[in-house]
Chain A
């Protein structure tokens, strides 16, 4: 079954031919089209560009694999984000500077960092809802051993360098993606 997709301007005819040739050799199931993260990347590649050509699903798979690998191998540092409510919460507690220090340190500590976001959240269990806190969400593309090692290093760094208030209100969550 053939699907259609917009192809960016910069793909010349010969580029398409080249990709098509390569795609013949690409493993059919090398990329899962149901993978949300890869679809997001694909959308970014084609976003805003006019429709030029129809290409086969097989080529899409190949392009997605290329783009995904390129993204993972980038050396550019991942920039962090602080959610609006998280920012207000930290300002109220006088913790914003400390949160920024923690996020900068996370950029240093975690290799293969994919995203770094600070969000407001609160624990709740059945009848109870507790005071709010900040979740420092770290997404990495590391194996389990490496992710655990860096998580422990980061926690030790926090124990040494962060105030009691910060330790209590900043919860670190590391998730392995990719």
Chain B
């Protein structure tokens, strides 16, 4: 199954006023994105942390994106060698910050019943999740893709060794 199909489910609930529906939309919006990224990693040979490692797959995916923030193409590397400080990849960091936001909202929607969610929260979370997938696939490119996968494999190995 294509994980982004969860966004189709979320779309069905857009406009519903019931808070349970709104919370479900926020959950599906996040899972569509999270599973898309998880599948991207595992389909490229990245091993997810075992259950007994104490690391959740959610945090693993988030961490892999965060750790990939230093991606640079060759021209950037040359600049760095000429004395410029190591710069961060704003495209990756943008994905990272959105993923954090969606995970936070999903956690509150699923566990915190004191927070009041409104219909525009479902619209906003779904739009954010869909645009993050779009941006991720647009920004990816072969060099950035290889870089993220190598960083994720390295991170996975660190967890195994710890």
Contact = CB atoms under 8 A, between A and B. Distances in A.
A128 B66 contact: no
B101 A171 contact: yes
A156 interface: yes
Interface in A135-166: 135, 144, 147-148, 151-152, 155-156, 158-160, 164
Given A128-B56, A159-B90, A36 B124 contact: no
Contacts of A164: 69
B120 A144 contact: yes
Interface in B25-66: 51, 54-56, 58-59, 66
Interface string B115-150: 010101101100110000000000000000000000
B98 interface: yes
A155 B127 contact: no
- Chain A interface size range: 20 to 34
A130 interface: yes
A167 B66 contact: yes
Given A128-B59, A152-B94, A171-B100, A176 B120 contact: yes
A69 interface: no
Interface string B96-115: 11101101110100010000
> Closest 10 A-B residue pairs measured CB to CB?
A159-B93, A128-B56, A155-B97, A171-B100, A171-B104, A176-B120, A125-B56, A159-B90, A130-B59, A125-B58
B124 A124 contact: no
A155 B120 CA distance: 21
A36 B118 CA distance: 12
A144 B124 contact: yes
Given A144-B123, A147-B124, A173-B101, A167 B56 contact: no
Given A128-B54, A148-B127, A172 B90 contact: no
10 contacts: A127-B51, A130-B59, A144-B120, A144-B124, A148-B124, A155-B97, A159-B90, A167-B97, A171-B103, A175-B121
Interface of A: 36, 121, 123-125, 127-128, 130, 135, 144, 147-148, 151-152, 155-156, 158-160, 164, 167-168, 171-177
Contacts of B59: 123, 128, 130
Given A171-B100, A173-B101, A160 B123 contact: no
Given A156-B94, A159-B93, A172 B101 contact: yes
Contact of B103 (A123, A151, A174): A123
